[in-house]
């Protein structure tokens, strides 16, 4: 095989030399994958901070540029050493400058393998005692493109990509047995919705259908954990969507970082007008309809780091079952310190794209992909992270949107 490497003339690759060249390209590929993972760790961390949207977008652009430039730089910079070796010039030492990007690539590769193993061995905690799910494939419905896909442009083309799961909704009922749940509240049912992201990429009818599915689940409480809008003009979709949901114990919400970017005051006001209670940054005490003397339920909200502060629970009853609605799962340690029994979050969208074997790569959390979605027991808190309903980019693979009803059961040892 004839080859031309940087700084060198064409020469013939044969036998062992061919395999050495192939090995070199494999190493470059692996280092490039590791570097991409390192960049993903960086952008995941940046997106977990209270940073202006323009800076986040600029950082994402820089990330993509560096991810593209890295393998080219390696091929150019290290190709000379490879060419020397293949010509029979023997191995030459690599300049110290190159060890930094190589080290970053190796670090990222180790992180990639570690995250992939963690993703593969993930199992829900033992307190998850029952899961019933069905998938609603909207693409089998008549005129689904006209009804559910948004207006033209690049977002519509993304939405219509083959195999895209944006229009395959997983509707689930999951049951958890929690030691802290008083017997009075046994069977409490919560429908958790997150990350609607009203935008022009997905049509209003899609969200109307999502809310119809949520209504069919007939919970005691509706919770929305933030990121309602990516276009403030879509606020008028609310009456026909979340505005249609009513539960015996109420509807509660917090807002997310995408709402913070736009107009959180108008969003709160419209949600409140439609009967939704704002939980951030305080708590609501809910009495049991079956027993007015029973310990109340405490529902609190958290929109940090983007808005407000953590809820002040000093006046909340110590023995009450505590539920925290936090847009980001990053507030998990605060929840644990404040004896939160159940924490409901979104924000990470499950990563939206989960690669075979590797799992999610992008998950805007300081924990990276660790809490991208799913349920996690971190004593004394059960954290549930929703994959959400949509996203600004309507792209999902191995990560369908979810509408989930959580049914909480007490245990015989529940003393409260």
Which CB atom, from 341 or from 393, has the smaller least distance to Fe ion? Answer: 393
List the interface residues with Fe ion, window 114-133 (CB under 5 A). Answer: none
Name the token pair of 241: 């969507």
Q: Which residue has the tokens 């999502």?
A: 210
Crossing angle for the helix pair 16-46 and 53-84, to the nearest 10 degrees: 160
CB of 345 to Fe ion, least distance (A): 11
Which CB atom, from 195 or from 402, has the smaller least distance to Fe ion? Answer: 195
Which CB atom, from 227 or from 393, has the smaller least distance to Fe ion? Answer: 227
Identify which range of 34-42, 66-74, 187-195, 291-299 contacts Fe ion by CB under 5 A.
187-195
Query: Is residue 165 near Fe ion by the rule CB under 5 A?
Result: no
Which CB atom, from 220 or from 227, has the smaller least distance to Fe ion? Answer: 227
What is the rounded CA–CA span in Å between residue 252 and residue 243? 12
List of E strands, 328-390: 342-345, 354-355, 359-360, 374-378, 381-385
List the interface residues with Fe ion, window 226-265 (CB under 5 A). Answer: 227
Spatial neighbors of 102 by CB under 8 A, at least 6 apart, are 31, 74, 94
Crossing angle for the helix pair 99-121 and 53-84, to the nearest 10 degrees: 110
Q: CA 278, 287, 309: angle at the middle one, nearest 5?
A: 30
CB of 28 to Fe ion, least distance (A): 35
Q: What backbone torsions phi and psi does residue 287 show, to the nearest 5 degrees?
A: -80, 155
Chain residue at closest Cβ approach to Fe ion = 227
Q: What backbone torsions phi and psi does residue 174 show, to the nearest 5 degrees?
A: -120, 135
- Residue 275 CA: distances (Å) to CA of 110, 237, 371: 49, 15, 31
CB of 223 to Fe ion, least distance (A): 15
Which CB atom, from 258 or from 322, has the smaller least distance to Fe ion? Answer: 258
CB of 239 to Fe ion, least distance (A): 22
- Residue 234 CA: distances (Å) to CA of 195, 196, 251: 14, 11, 20
CB of 195 to Fe ion, least distance (A): 4
Which CB atom, from 195 or from 302, has the smaller least distance to Fe ion? Answer: 195
Three-class DSSP category at 216? helix
The closest of 375, 367, 370 to 359, measured between CA atoms, is: 370
- Residue 338 CA: distances (Å) to CA of 171, 212, 217, 314, 385: 31, 35, 30, 10, 19
Identify which range of 139-147, 189-197, 328-336, 408-416 contacts Fe ion by CB under 5 A.
189-197
Which CB atom, from 40 or from 74, has the smaller least distance to Fe ion? Answer: 40
Identify which range of 124-132, 191-199, 291-299, 314-322 contacts Fe ion by CB under 5 A.
191-199
Name the token pair of 232: 């403030």
What is the rounded CA–CA span in Å between residue 255 and residue 229? 10
The closest of 222, 223, 213, 255 to 347, measured between CA atoms, is: 255
CB of 181 to Fe ion, least distance (A): 29
Which CB atom, from 225 or from 295, has the smaller least distance to Fe ion? Answer: 225
* Count of residues that interact with Fe ion, criterion CB under 5 A: 2
Which CB atom, from 390 or from 414, has the smaller least distance to Fe ion? Answer: 390
With b for 16 or more beta-carbon neighbours within 10 A and e for fewer, the 240-249 pattern comes to: ebbbebebeb
What is the rounded CA–CA span in Å between residue 362 and residue 45? 10
CB of 206 to Fe ion, least distance (A): 16
Which CB atom, from 195 or from 393, has the smaller least distance to Fe ion? Answer: 195
CB of 141 to Fe ion, least distance (A): 25
CB of 350 to Fe ion, least distance (A): 11
CB of 122 to Fe ion, least distance (A): 21
CB of 234 to Fe ion, least distance (A): 14
Binding characters for Fe ion, 192-231, by CB under 5 A (x = yes): ---x-------------------------------x----
Which CB atom, from 196 or from 406, has the smaller least distance to Fe ion? Answer: 196
Q: By CB neighbour count within 10 A (0-12 exposed, 13-18 middle, 19+ buried), where does 145 fall?
A: middle
Contact set with Fe ion (CB under 5 A): 195, 227
């Amino acid at each position: 095989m004839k080859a031309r490497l940087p700084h060198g003339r064409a020469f013939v690759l044969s036998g062992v030399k061919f395999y050495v060249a192939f090995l070199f390209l494999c190493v470059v590929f692996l280092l490039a994958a590791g570097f991409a993972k390192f960049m993903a760790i960086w952008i995941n961390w940046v997106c977990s901070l209270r940073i202006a949207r323009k800076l986040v977008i600029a950082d994402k652009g820089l990330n993509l540029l560096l991810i593209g430039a890295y393998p080219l730089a390696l091929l150019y910079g290290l190709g000379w050493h490879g060419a020397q070796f293949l010509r029979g010039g023997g191995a030459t030492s690599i300049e110290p400058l190159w060890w930094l990007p190589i080290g970053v690539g190796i670090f990222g590769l180790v992180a990639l393998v570690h995250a992939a193993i963690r993703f593969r061995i993930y199992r829900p905690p033992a307190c998850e005692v029952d899961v019933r799910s069905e998938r609603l494939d909207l693409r089998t419905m008549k005129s689904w493109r006209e009804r559910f896909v948004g207006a033209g442009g690049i977002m519509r083309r993304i939405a219509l990509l083959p195999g895209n799961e944006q229009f395959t909704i997983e509707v689930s009922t999951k049951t958890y047995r929690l030691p802290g749940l008083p017997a009075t509240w046994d069977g409490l049912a919560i429908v958790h919705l997150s990350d609607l992201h009203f935008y022009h990429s997905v049509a209003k009818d899609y969200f109307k259908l999502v809310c119809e599915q949520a209504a069919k689940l007939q919970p005691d409480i509706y919770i929305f954990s933030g990121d309602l809008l990516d276009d403030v003009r879509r606020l008028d979709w609310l009456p026909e969507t979340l505005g249609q949901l009513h539960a015996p114990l109420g509807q509660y919400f917090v807002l997310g970082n995408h709402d913070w970017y736009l107009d959180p005051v108008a969003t709160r006001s419209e949600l409140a007008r439609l009967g939704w209670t704002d939980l951030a940054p305080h708590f609501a005490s809910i009495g049991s309809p079956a027993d007015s003397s029973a310990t109340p339920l405490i529902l609190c909200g958290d929109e940090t780091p983007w808005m407000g502060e953590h809820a002040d629970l000093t006046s909340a009853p110590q023995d009450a079952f505590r539920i925290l609605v936090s847009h980001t799962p990053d507030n998990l340690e605060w929840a644990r310190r404040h004896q939160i029994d159940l924490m409901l979050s979104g924000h990470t969208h499950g990563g939206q794209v989960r690669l075979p074997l590797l799992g999610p790569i992008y998950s805007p959390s300081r924990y990276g992909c660790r809490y991208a979605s799913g349920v996690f027991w971190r004593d004394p808190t059960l954290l549930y992270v929703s994959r959400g309903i949509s996203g600004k980019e309507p792209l999902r693979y191995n990560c369908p949107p979810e509408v989930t009803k959580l049914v909480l059961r007490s245990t015989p040892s529940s003393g409260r």
